[in-house]
Amino acid sequence: MSAFPQADPERLWSTLQTMAALSEPGGGVTRLAYTRLERAAHEQFAAWMSDTGCEVRVDSAGNTIATRPGRNDGPAVGTGSHLDSVYHGGRFDGIAGTMAAVEVARLLHESGTVTELPLRFVAFAAEEGARFGQACCGSKLAAGLSARAELDERRDRDGISLADAMRSVGIDPDRAAASAWDPGEWSAFVELHVEQGSVLETARVDVGVVDLISGSTRIELTVLGQASHTGGTPMRGRADALAAAAEAVLIAERLALDPRHRGTRASVGRMVVEPGSITTIPGRVTFSLDVRDVDADRQRLAVAEIVARLRAACLRRGTRLEARLLADTSAVVLPDWVRNEVTAAATELALPYRVLTSGASHDAQMVNRVVPTAMIFVPSRHGLSHVPEEWTEPAQLAVGTDLLAASMLRLDARAAMLAAESATTGGAA
Ligand code: GLV
Ligand code: MN
Ligand code: MN
């Protein structure tokens, strides 16, 4: 059993509640990507991290990175998650991981622990795809995976581009690519997150270790029909855009339920009906389709099949279909050696764990492109997430944080050992 101090559930809880208060009014937490409220959350994170003796900087994508020096310079072990939310979301998604990072830094500071190499604690900007369609904007830039043009192309429901949203909070989109990480500065990364599913709750296990993160393809579909009088227009021969769009919802559901698609999730989460009048047949309906899968080919084939079936339905109904790609990400397999360090840390702490797959997207899947990454999950009550009812017990958050701290210390020791070996073999290791 490690002598490292345990996380304080009450302190973690009050840290989390302070973040929850940074929200738009209305149900749940609304703290959207690249808004003043998200920046305020980053400033709060920066202040807490400075109090633990870390050196804090905000990179050119708006990610906040706190560094705690080690005994020697060298590649750092990192942790972190995001501080933005969906519309009317919960208190835990993203926040659990960033608050766990704050708690680990506090425990290190209070116990006077000196690690072999530096540690870094990161709050990523704009993880949620809820506003712009694209998920993980800050970590995608950190991974060097975003083209400048994307920042102009991705727009929110009010037509504001990602680039303009960045400018509105003082971030220069033309400089955002400079945030790309140098892989040589990192040895490993571990993100803690709430599960957003019910595997851990069902198994009555407090921590999960992720093997695979689902990908997602998101498109915006527009059905164009003919608006007209609901009383004067006969039922036959109508070009009702909403009736066609309703078919899309059911086509997507039916396809994802087909046994050949076991594991595909397809959802229409947003629909705008125009002109939106009780007495006018809808002439135009715009809606989103989000298809997620752990199999990238099946994910894209599912989207193509849904669009093809819908196009046929639209033709039958005398309407026209337009489709526009919003975002497209493949599933990511996390490297087993980092996961093995996390599971070894769980064994050291005598914590039962479960290895499981993530249905949601995470910064970890972007970070893993440049730094070998692991993920720790803590349970979500009733599997609920992206809703105000999202809940994780403070004691479960604390257990996850203990595992995070122990994993980081193991990974730090491993990185230092490899650095020492490399030094004695003249860098050939
Ligand atoms: C992030 O929570 C996602 O939408 O997967
Ligand atoms: Mn999240
Ligand atoms: Mn989320």
- For the domain with range 215-329, which CATH number is right: 3.30.70.360, 3.40.50.11540, 3.40.50.300, 2.40.110.10? 3.30.70.360
- pLDDT at position 139 is 98
Average pLDDT for residues 379-393, to the nearest whole number? 98
What tokens appear for 217 in the block?
């393809």
Peptide linkage before 275 cis (omega within 30 of 0): yes
- CA dist 275 to 37, 111, 227, 240, Å? 32, 62, 8, 12
Model confidence band, residue 146 (pLDDT cutoffs 50, 70, 90):
very high
Average pLDDT for residues 256-282, to the nearest whole number? 96
- What is the residue extent of each domain of the chain? 9-214+332-428, 215-329
> Is the model's pLDDT at 167 over the cut of 90?
yes
Ligand 1 pocket, residue 33 CB under 6 Å: no
- pLDDT at position 423 is 85
Ligand 1 pocket, residue 215 CB under 6 Å: no
DSSP H helices in 274-357: 296-316, 336-348
Question: Could you tell me which of 116, 181, 196 has the C-alpha nearest to residue 146?
Answer: 181
- CA dist 289 to 142, 222, 253, 283, 304, Å? 27, 11, 11, 20, 11
Ligand 1 pocket, residue 126 CB under 6 Å: no
CA 154 – ligand 2 centroid, Å: 19
Which one of 128, 137, 213, 328 would you pick to mutate in the ligand 1 pocket, going by the greatest count of ligand atoms within 8 A of its CB? 128
Which one of 86, 95, 385 would you pick to mutate in the ligand 1 pocket, going by the greatest count of ligand atoms within 8 A of its CB? 86
Paired strand residues for 215 = 293
Residues 6+ positions from 181 with CB-CB distance below 8 Å: 142, 143, 144, 370, 371
- 9-214+332-428 against 215-329: fold identical: no
- pLDDT at position 427 is 58
- CA dist 240 to 223, 237, 246, 278, 358, Å? 9, 9, 10, 13, 38
- Residue range 12-40, pLDDT digits in tens: 999 999 999 999 999 999 999 999 999 99
> Is the model's pLDDT at 424 over the cut of 90?
no
- pLDDT at position 1 is 42
Model confidence band, residue 3 (pLDDT cutoffs 50, 70, 90):
confident
> Is the model's pLDDT at 429 over the cut of 50?
no
CA 134 – ligand 3 centroid, Å: 12
Average pLDDT for residues 57-80, to the nearest whole number? 98
- Residue range 177-221, pLDDT digits in tens: 999 999 999 999 999 999 999 999 999 999 999 999 999 999 999
Index of the ligand 1 atom closest to the CA of residue 214: 5
Amino acid identity of residue 409, one-letter, is L
Q: Across all residues in the chain, what is the average pLDDT? A: 96
- pLDDT at position 76 is 98
Ligand 1 pocket, residue 135 CB under 6 Å: yes
CA 213 – ligand 3 centroid, Å: 13
Model confidence band, residue 318 (pLDDT cutoffs 50, 70, 90):
very high
- pLDDT at position 425 is 83
What does the angle CA 363 – CA 342 – CA 333 come to, to the nearest 5 degrees? 45
Q: Are strands 265-267 and 284-293 parallel, antiparallel or unpaired?
A: antiparallel
Domain 9-214+332-428, CATH homologous superfamily name and number? Zn peptidases (3.40.630.10)
